Structure 1
Amino acid sequence: MMVSCSDDGDKVTTKESILNIKSESNHNLTQVGFSELIHNKDLTWSSFDNPSKDGWDSEHFANKAQDQLSVITNIIKGTDPTTDIKPVTEKVLFTTIRPESLDLVYSDKNFQVHRQNAKPLNINKGAELFLKNLNNSEISTSEEIQVKFKIIDVELSKNEFKSTQLYSVSFRTKESITDERSVWEITWDVNQKKELKISSLNVIDYERTIRKSSEKLFSDCTESIFSGNSSYKEQLSKGVNEWLEKLPAYAMLNRFGTPGMAIGDINGDGLEDLYLCQEPGIPNKLFLQNKNGTLRDVSKEWKVDWLEDSRSALLVDLDNDGDRDLVVAMYGNIVIAVNEGNKIGYEIVSVIPTSESTSSLSAADYDLDGKLDIYVCCYAPNKSSDAVAVQPMGATARRFVYHDDNNGPENFLLKNETDSGKTISFRNVTDETSINTNNRRWSFAASWEDFDIDGDPDLYVANDYGRNNLYRNDGGTFKDVAAELGVEDSASGMSVTWADYDLDGRQDLYVSNMFSAAGSRITSQKEFKPDADLGTRKRFGRFTRGNTLFRNTSEGFIDTSENAGVTMGRWAWGSRFVDLNNDGWQDLVVANGYLSAADNSTGDL
């Protein structure tokens, strides 16, 4: 059973199990039985997803517990028309679900944050009082409500089942928006019919955040900014599901729906412009910003409406002439186009062969010669989706070490050797700079930063399926010091961002991974990989924890993720440090989700 995954709190899934359904439906597929499911209409998903049949009684009861938590969810939301108290025993013991004795830990003109203090909560008894605690009119009568439970740990004995779950509720009234989060420790009574009822509940780590206005912090202005262009309705307003059914998909990354973007002032008017990469067969887009904040499509006029599969882009000055040139990672190549300045438009000056699945680009002057160099991240091995000889992708492939794979494609470091005549050119210096060490991972993202404050930029690379890299720049050559400094963060790395979050003068590091409630439950059970050593089991368990915050100190890095409360970013594709409220402290924004339900029932985003 594969576990490093995001989930809806109930079932286990992976990127690969989703992606391989269509690509392998006409081939022998024995790993999870998708082929049989597709071709036999009498079979149901429950025929395959049967934890009890597979010997996972703990997961069987976790599913039953989730059903009861759904009943509790309806009571909290006020959508249960009855006073049915099926989820609990008559003599249930429980602490207060919404504690009132809280400490104020943060306050400004927009927010107040209160947290549970060390004072013990009162113990309450009885089903009727429990129901009263759940049925809070402030929540149930609010205008918008979202309630979610994620079971993250379970323990099964003969007549008792224990579960630990993350609980969150958000609701909006006419005066405010409230977000409450806590951890519920539940003991379930198991009767002779194997039915579950809560016999005790302990609430810990309660936190309440109140937005002192019912207005949202951000407004979606996409349509108002783009709608003056026909390409908005015809192209940009459609999602990846639309294009996957119509367009060829060459590389594994096409199924992820992650074409990149770049922002920069390309025409020197002081306004930031936008370049959008697109899926194969759909033209890339370049938008100039108007003075009123709207955007106009100049893709064709500027000669950059390329149809090739594009994953990432940079708008940077490569020839030091004062305007921004364009770098685009395409299927198998890096395209470099010079900004022609007064001529209005870009001209392709170089096409550099790379991997079929180039995932991202980052630029810095690593050798301090005054010219920007480029680091190229690559994800999957070439021909991983060759139509002639279909191969399983990622963790479903043979000889794949899920928790520590080292058979991915090479990343590249390209040195800028633009001459005095302004002819842009690059040379591959991956080997000669020693940045080829540990360079066969599945890389999603990289970011440059002078973490050791010695005057040159160092590089952190976030890798899927295992260890990350921190390449320390030693005067133009590199050494991977990730293990030495404790920042390998062996998990499903998908993005990286730097900032001095504690204001000590050193740049700290935040890495986006995947949080999985189901994975967290499973990897802690004795049934999971019983023949593996403890170290390997812990490595798998680490995949489920989520995002990581590393504090940079004079002695190296310290993992402060759990103390800071920043691990649960769900299926986190990207993150950024940013000072949202202009108070001088760096906040975190995490972009998450994948193929979410139309009603956003997963709570992502």
Structure 2
Amino acid sequence: MQSNPMRKSAFHALPILLLAAACGTDSAGSANSANQNANASAPWFKEVAAERGLDFVHLRGLPKRFWFPEIAAGGGGFLDYNGDGHLDIYLVQSAVLVPDEVPAELADQPFPGNRLYRGKGDGSFADVTEEAGVGDAGYGMGFAVGDTDGDGDQDLFVSNVGRNVLYRNNGDGSFTDVSAASDLEHEGWTTSCAFLDYDRDGDLDLFAANYVNWSPGVEIPCRSHYGDRDYCHPNNYNSPTSDLLYENDGNGHFTDVSRRAGLTENFGNGLGVAVADFDANGYPDVYVANDLLANQLWMNQGDGTFKDEALLAGCAVNMNGTAEAGMGVAAVDIENDGDMDLFMTHLRDETNTCYVNRGGFFSDKTSLTGLGGPSIRFTGWGMGFADFNHDGERDTYVANGRVGIWMPEYDTVDRYAEPNLLFRGLPGGGFEEVLPRGGVAVPLVHNTRATAYGDMDGDGDIDVLVVDNDGPVRLLENTAPDQGHFLQLRVLDAHGFDAVGARVELPGPAAGQRPTQWRGVQVAYSYCASHDPRVHFGLGSASQAASVTVHWIEGQAEVFGPLEVDRSHTLRQGAGQALKR
């Protein structure tokens, strides 16, 4: 594969070679040409992965195979597996897609697997994969985090091309593979996934998106417009599939209820997943970003079934009625009006799209946000919204990376590399791009897939984990200038789970000051990633204690506070002051 001509050595040497190659690419791209304009500022991030103990290098497969799944791989994110309050990191490997194809000189080498890094509390990490027992060596895509058996510990579900895996947390720093016993050993191509309590029975169920029905036997040689061997277009496979819904039976065992719930009525090429209560009926809904097919908005009917209402709701296709190449997706209240909107990344020549929620119906407002124009030259994947500089306006970081060889090329080593983008949030819901591009002193020009967001060092601001396809992981420490005050909240439901779907309202203190802000409790969004579950507010110059209202998904609301600013707080359902309606 031209992105890595040296990969003929043994598996254990690959990360070293890749790291050496990738470290030279930060300054190689032509993306540095636009470092000075009206939006230029001091860097918002510093890349610190190596110095903080992260030595993971993602591998997309054996050289010169060009199998379709290779170009979509690269998942990872945050979790707190040991419950110590410090974020840990799990990174998903994709080294060997078809073991029978491994060359003889590599046959006796162990396949690289997933890695778990324990957060030490000071922003540094230690590799604990072996003692934890979570080094699955399948062809990984992403993962989801949730307490599947109600014992208070976070379990791990790993999505693969092939056998999916559920690791049950033993509570002592180790995990047990219970995939078979839990009936979660689906064989296919699973991408983004999320735990949710879709039936509101008090235990976590699982939604898993599937991409296409793929096997090595369907591969054909494809070439780029320039005659080089390249990855095939998705239309060459023309094999969409349905997504999966597993109901938790209450003891950590799962039953596939996809057909009963209605998910087999529509097929798609699922890549991104976002969970939110889009119509405020008290039940979590699921949005799926599909590649080249209409997106799906699975509206929870409250009786164990879902209906795909994306077309009627206005978020299946773009404003021209065309299905686009949906990659990653986030549910976010961009307008701060109390309901959840959608933001989705797309293939180059298609703008990233913002669908604004109008009471359960969506309107494509991309052109009004400022997020569309800069994205049209790039292929977006992971993304997320956070107030990185604590000025009271959410910003967004967007990861990019190609799926084919196109001109111009930004990097001489990886022909699929593109620069990532950072946008500053503006009053009124608009955005402007921040330069240096991507918010770092020397723009990162790589082939990024997953991005995850969280306060990895406990200093109160949001950092970014960047997972590259076929390259080393990046960890962006938040160094944004002129940071204001903040408020950070862990919001738990009555069962002690992260209250996914709940909305948190922070009222503005007075006219002419900070406006009311809304945040949703989110754990799974972006692309093949898991995130810090804490809700985060930037407060600007406001330093006084603040009260918040939590709108629980069942319809009740509670007021908590006053809460001291520049602190992290835990809010549990039933512990606040009930708000009369």
State the structure with more CA Rg.
1
Amino acid at match of 1:345: S
- How far apart are 1:308 and its partner, in Å? 1.6
- Counterpart for residue 488 of structure 1: 316
- Counterpart for residue 244 of structure 1: 62
- How far apart are 1:145 and its partner, in Å? 12
- Counterpart for residue 223 of structure 1: 50
Q: Which moved more, 1:453-462 or 1:308-317?
A: 308-317
- Counterpart for residue 285 of structure 1: 115
TM-score by length of 1: 0.54
1:548 to 353, 359, 378: 353
2:85 equivalent to 1:253: no
Amino acid at match of 1:576: G
CA distance in 1, matches of 2:309, 2:222: 30
Amino acid at match of 1:583: D
2:213 equivalent to 1:381: yes
- How far apart are 1:326 and its partner, in Å? 1.3
CA distance in 1, matches of 2:259, 2:223: 26
2:402 equivalent to 1:597: no
Q: Which moved more, 1:456-465 or 1:356-365?
A: 356-365
2:259 equivalent to 1:434: no
Residues 382 and 291 of structure 1: CA distance in aligned 2, closer, same or farther (over 3 Å): same
Amino acid at match of 2:296: N
Amino acid at match of 1:253: P
Amino acid at match of 1:432: R
CA distance in 1, matches of 2:233, 2:51: 50
Residues 393 and 465 of structure 1: CA distance in aligned 2, closer, same or farther (over 3 Å): farther
Residues 245 and 392 of structure 1: CA distance in aligned 2, closer, same or farther (over 3 Å): closer
- Counterpart for residue 274 of structure 2: 447
Residues 473 and 145 of structure 1: CA distance in aligned 2, closer, same or farther (over 3 Å): same
- Counterpart for residue 174 of structure 2: 345
CA distance in 1, matches of 2:28, 2:141: 36
Amino acid at match of 1:313: F
Deviations 1:330-358 (A, max 9, x none): 2322211211113x310112232324321
- Counterpart for residue 549 of structure 2: none
Contact 1:288–1:296 under 8 Å retained in 2: yes
Contact 2:138–2:162 under 8 Å retained in 1: no
CA distance in 2, matches of 1:431, 1:408: 16
Deviations 1:112-142 (A, max 9, x none): xxxxxxxxxxxxxxxxxxxxxxxxxxxxxxx
Deviations 1:277-296 (A, max 9, x none): 10133121111111332111
Residues 226 and 485 of structure 1: CA distance in aligned 2, closer, same or farther (over 3 Å): same
2:145 to 295, 315, 335: 315
Contact 1:244–1:255 under 8 Å retained in 2: no
Q: Which runs of no fewer than 5 residues in structure 1 stay unpaired?
A: 1-16, 20-143, 149-167, 172-177, 180-207, 517-544
Residues 169 and 446 of structure 1: CA distance in aligned 2, closer, same or farther (over 3 Å): same
Contact 2:29–2:412 under 8 Å retained in 1: no
2:76 equivalent to 1:267: no
- Counterpart for residue 50 of structure 1: none
- Counterpart for residue 581 of structure 1: 389
Residues 283 and 401 of structure 1: CA distance in aligned 2, closer, same or farther (over 3 Å): closer
Higher helix proportion (structure 1 or 2): 1
- How far apart are 1:245 and its partner, in Å? 2.2
Amino acid at match of 1:443: G
- Counterpart for residue 563 of structure 1: 368
User: Secondary structure of 1:253's match?
Assistant: helix
Contact 2:93–2:114 under 8 Å retained in 1: yes
CA distance in 2, matches of 1:394, 1:146: 24
User: Secondary structure of 1:470's match?
Assistant: strand
Q: How does 1:504-515 map to 2 (within 5 A)?
A: 504-515=337-348
CA distance in 1, matches of 2:223, 2:261: 29
Residues 287 and 449 of structure 1: CA distance in aligned 2, closer, same or farther (over 3 Å): same
Q: How does 1:152-301 map to 2 (within 5 A)?
A: 170-171=34-35, 178-179=36-37, 208-211=38-41, 215-226=42-53, 232=55, 236-237=56-57, 240=59, 243-245=61-63, 252-256=68-72, 258-279=73-94, 280=96, 281-301=111-131
Residues 366 and 223 of structure 1: CA distance in aligned 2, closer, same or farther (over 3 Å): same
CA distance in 2, matches of 1:469, 1:255: 23
2:358 equivalent to 1:358: no
User: Secondary structure of 2:51's match?
Assistant: helix
Q: Using CA pairs below 8 Å that are at least 6 residues apart, which structure has the higher relative contact order?
A: 2
Q: How does 1:97-116 map to 2 (within 5 A)?
A: none
Identity of aligned residues (%): 28
Amino acid at match of 1:245: P
CA distance in 1, matches of 2:214, 2:272: 18
Residues 435 and 225 of structure 1: CA distance in aligned 2, closer, same or farther (over 3 Å): same
Residues 398 and 504 of structure 1: CA distance in aligned 2, closer, same or farther (over 3 Å): closer
Amino acid at match of 2:145: L
Contact 1:252–1:380 under 8 Å retained in 2: no
2:239 equivalent to 1:407: yes
- How far apart are 1:560 and its partner, in Å? 0.5
Amino acid at match of 2:331: W
Report the aligned-residue RMSD.
3.3
CA distance in 2, matches of 1:299, 1:276: 10
TM-score by length of 2: 0.56
Deviations 1:249-295 (A, max 9, x none): 8x622233x23113211112111111111013312111111133211
User: Secondary structure of 2:307's match?
Assistant: strand
Contact 2:71–2:231 under 8 Å retained in 1: no
Q: Which runs of no fewer than 5 residues in structure 2 stay unpaired?
A: 4-26, 97-110, 225-229, 318-322, 421-581
Stretches (4+) displaced over 3 A: 144-148, 389-402, 598-603
CA distance in 2, matches of 1:299, 1:146: 34
Residues 582 and 286 of structure 1: CA distance in aligned 2, closer, same or farther (over 3 Å): same
- How far apart are 1:597 and its partner, in Å? 1.2
Query: How many pairs does the alignment contain?
Result: 358
Contact 1:506–1:552 under 8 Å retained in 2: yes
- How far apart are 1:498 and its partner, in Å? 1.1
- Counterpart for residue 305 of structure 2: 477
Contact 2:30–2:411 under 8 Å retained in 1: no
- How far apart are 1:557 and its partner, in Å? 0.9
Deviations 1:33-64 (A, max 9, x none): xxxxxxxxxxxxxxxxxxxxxxxxxxxxxxxx
Amino acid at match of 1:550: Y
Residues 319 and 483 of structure 1: CA distance in aligned 2, closer, same or farther (over 3 Å): same
Residues 563 and 271 of structure 1: CA distance in aligned 2, closer, same or farther (over 3 Å): same
- Counterpart for residue 334 of structure 2: 501
- How far apart are 1:579 and its partner, in Å? 1.8
User: Secondary structure of 1:301's match?
Assistant: helix
Amino acid at match of 1:553: R
Deviations 1:52-99 (A, max 9, x none): xxxxxxxxxxxxxxxxxxxxxxxxxxxxxxxxxxxxxxxxxxxxxxxx
